[in-house]
């Protein structure tokens, strides 16, 4: 197939950018003709540029015309959209269809139903805007503390819904988990257009032996929703266990100042080095307090044969099978996390068994071959629905 991938990169690269790159490589390896077009927000400098972007975010006619030209230029049969916010806008879905392409959009977060994309406000799960107009988001400035920015996102949501931009034949939405699909449907997206396809891992890591594994590792952005506070507090209860925090973010200085001596911070590391840390750890901890999409770090831990200790929230219990590939704890509860960590590090045989099960799952359920079959089937179903087949 001829495929055009569209993605607005994030200013701080994260799991979504990694997932898009992996999918791009996968499609090329399968012999497809793939064009990747990415945008970033670095060009949005100064008040005037920000105003122009905010005005164009809900629906950008220029982008609709632009993507139609790109489809004709490349001969793309499928346009696979990832993040459209803010440089592309949902208008690209209509533009791709105008030029005769089938349209697929992967929803990596909850931006279509929540202004900040996380269903989280003030550190607490919030679904005040789910299934209704997002006036609460505007009132609370849920997008980066900005009323104007939040209004632009809510306008984008409403234009897309009222224009039934996701409802038409020849278009399909991908949710990463069943949990996410259910939330998106609750928020008003068309159930018949949403299919579930997880992220995948395309590189398997060497597996360390049990006697060379030590310590607990966290990999992620150091911001409130990722729950690193819970990990730092839990570490005080387990002074005999070493915790390694890999990543950077707005909370890094505060977390460093609050952490006990058994917590070490590496800052942000290249992906290969972060994976090497995971491969040597007794477990990866995923202490998020928001509804994660499908964290690539969990798949990377599975691929390294490392069990995962995850918060019992959102899609994480769907991804981490308790007692099989890892253990779950009460989100935001340091004592619950400390209890689970102690349980695992004191039982090397269970740790090894869970790590092996995670690796097997990574190679089969979350491996590239299975994912490619799913993705190609989605593309084929979309092409069959186009007016001209």
> What are φ and ψ of residue 231, in 5° steps?
-65, -45
**If DSSP states are collapsed to H, E and C, what string results for 63-104?**
HHHHHHHHHHHHCCCEEEECCCCCCCCCHHHHHHHHCCCEEE
What value does the mean pLDDT of the chain take?
92
CA dist., res. 86 & res. 54, Å (int): 8
Instruction: Please state the domain extents for the chain.
Output: 2-200+367-385, 210-363
pTM of the model: 0.92
Same fold, 2-200+367-385 and 210-363: yes
- Token look-up 């399968």 returns 30
Model pLDDT, residue 15:
80
If you classify domain 2-200+367-385 with CATH, what class do you get?
A: alpha beta
pLDDT of amino acid 85: 83
Which pLDDT belongs to residue 385?
85
Position 58 pLDDT exceeds 90: no
Instruction: Report the pLDDT averaged over residues 209-216.
Output: 84
Q: What is the pLDDT of residue 46?
A: 63
Helix, strand, coil percent values for the chain (each to nearest 5) = 45, 15, 40
Query: For 79-108, how does the pLDDT look when each residue is reduced to its tens digit (9 = 90+)?
Result: 999 998 878 889 999 999 999 999 999 999
Give 178-212 pLDDT, tens digit per residue: 999 999 999 999 999 999 999 999 877 777 777 78
| Average pLDDT value for residue range 18-46 | 87
At the fourth CATH level, the homologous superfamily of domain 210-363 is: Glycogen Phosphorylase B; (3.40.50.2000)
Classify each residue of 52-75 as buried b or exposed e, where b means 16 or more C-beta atoms within 10 Å of its C-beta: ebbebbbbbeebbebbbebbeebe
Residue 228: CA count within 13 A, CB half-sphere: 28
pLDDT at 389 over 60: no
């Amino acid at each position: 197939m001829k495929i055009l991938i569209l993605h607005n990169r994030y200013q701080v690269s994260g799991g979504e950018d990694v997932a898009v790159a992996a999918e791009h490589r996968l499609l090329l390896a399968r012999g497809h003709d793939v064009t990747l077009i990415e945008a970033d927000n670095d060009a949005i400098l100064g008040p005037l540029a920000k105003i122009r972007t905010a005005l164009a975010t809900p629906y950008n006619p220029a982008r609709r015309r632009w993507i139609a030209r790109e489809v004709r230029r490349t001969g793309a049969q499928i346009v696979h959209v990832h993040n459209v916010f803010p440089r592309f806008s949902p208008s690209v879905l209509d533009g791709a269809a105008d030029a005769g392409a089938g349209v697929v959009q992967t929803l990596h977060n909850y931006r279509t139903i929540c202004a900040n994309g996380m269903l989280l406000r003030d550190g607490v799960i919030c679904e005040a805007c789910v299934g209704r107009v997002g006036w609460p988001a505007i009132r609370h400035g849920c997008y980066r503390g900005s009323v104007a920015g939040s209004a632009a996102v809510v306008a984008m949501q409403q234009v897309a819904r009222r224009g039934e931009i996701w409802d038409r034949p020849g278009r399909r939405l991908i949710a990463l988990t069943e949990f996410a699909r259910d939330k998106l449907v609750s928020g008003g997206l068309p159930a018949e257009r949403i299919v579930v396809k997880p992220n995948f891992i395309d590189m398997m890591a060497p597996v360390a032996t049990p006697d060379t594994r030590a310590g607990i590792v966290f990999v992620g952005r150091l911001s409130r929703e990722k729950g690193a506070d819970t990990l730092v507090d839990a570490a005080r209860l387990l002074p005999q266990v070493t915790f390694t925090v890999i990543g950077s973010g707005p909370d890094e200085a505060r977390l460093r100042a609050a952490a006990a001596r058994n917590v070490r911070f590496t800052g942000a590391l290249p992906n290969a080095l972060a994976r090497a840390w995971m491969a040597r750890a007794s477990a990866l901890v995923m202490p998020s307090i928001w509804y994660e999409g499908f964290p690539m770090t969990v798949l990377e831990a599975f691929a390294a044969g490392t069990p995962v200790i995850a918060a019992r929230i959102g899609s994480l219990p769907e991804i981490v099978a308790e007692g099989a590939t890892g253990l779950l704890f009460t989100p935001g509860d340091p004592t619950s996390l400390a209890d689970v960590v102690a349980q695992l590090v004191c039982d090397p045989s269970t740790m090894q068994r869970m790590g092996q099960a995670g690796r097997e799952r990574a190679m089969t359920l979350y491996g590239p071959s299975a994912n490619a079959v799913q993705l190609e089937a989605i593309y084929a179903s979309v092409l069959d629905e186009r007016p001209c087949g």
